[in-house]
Homo-oligomer: A and B are copies of this chain.
């Protein structure tokens, strides 16, 4: 990029679309910023991106200790080995409190990070789930415009993060470790309902337990209602071993088959359209709140109203009504 400033959103969009990795990294930094002038440029950047590219967006969640990042790394290395370009993004709404982030540990995904056709972006530090979701949607759009074949969005199972990730990806996979007893590892119902693929990892350690777990989840999935976007055999449950690589090719094959079927049957475009509409609604809320916080009249009245509310002299709803001017 040399001396190019990339302050101009159109230039930055052009560099991203050309596949310039430093431009992509800068573009993601820009969309992650909360500064008002950065937001304006981020919006212009997003508006200037090419819209004719379609990556396979794979959402990936899992219980702690299921070996999620080992699996993503093994999958990523396999795919780049096949000549595909792979981006990995992380959604971690808890990073604000814990001070860390999913991919923040530099030793993680070491092999994949050395692949020239892989792009790994740790979760931005801080922020509430709403903000993280917004920035991740934008980072996905940037990676897709940059020509990646696959965009993997990883999330920890915190709060609503899985359903948030399922709502911005084409295929959503859940990674689990084989379980010992008869529980379902506390997997929330909403997460089960969002899963297209359940990968029981660590099948190398105890194949019997892995197969039993697979059977249990297959039985649980049969109780869920059929979704129109599922062809015969989906949602599917498979055993894999990220460590030994067993089952990875089959798992990826299932992901691609599902993606292709949904695309041909028109479900991909429908699902993405629905996702875009929810994104729009979230943006409406986020931008309306930004404007609210930037309102000088409100800024002037807020301290006094806060004092009244804190002391219990005015009810919160009344103070809010006065703050908004009515």
Residues of A near any B CB (own CB < 8 A): 42-43, 46-47, 49, 51, 137-138, 141, 158-160, 181, 186, 188, 272-274, 276-277, 279-280, 282-289, 291-292, 305-306, 309-321, 323-324
Residues of B within 8 A of A284 (CB): 292, 320, 323-324
Interface of chain A: mostly helix, strand, loop or mixed: helix
Residues of B within 8 A of A292 (CB): 284-285, 288
- Measured CA separation A282–B274 after assembly (Å): 27
A315 touches B277 (CB 8 A): no
10 contacts between A and B (CB under 8 A): A46-B317, A159-B159, A160-B160, A276-B309, A276-B310, A280-B305, A280-B306, A280-B316, A284-B320, A287-B324
B277 touches A310 (CB 8 A): yes
Closest B-chain residue to A46, C-beta based? B315
B306 touches A277 (CB 8 A): yes
Residues of B within 8 A of A272 (CB): 312
Shortest A273–chain B CB gap in Å is: 4
Residues of B within 8 A of A186 (CB): 186
Contact of A280 among B42, B282, B309 (CB under 8 A): B309
Closest B-chain residue to A325, C-beta based? B291
Q: How many chain copies does the complex carry?
A: 2
Closest B-chain residue to A311, C-beta based? B273
- Measured CA separation A305–B311 after assembly (Å): 43
Contact of A283 among B138, B273, B276, B317 (CB under 8 A): B317
A286, A316, A323 pick with most chain B CB within 10 angstroms: A316
Shortest A276–chain B CB gap in Å is: 5
Closest B-chain residue to A31, C-beta based? B317
- Measured CA separation A287–B312 after assembly (Å): 20
- Measured CA separation A323–B284 after assembly (Å): 8
A47, A158, A282, A286 pick with most chain B CB within 10 angstroms: A47
Residues of B within 8 A of A51 (CB): 312-313
B280 touches A324 (CB 8 A): no
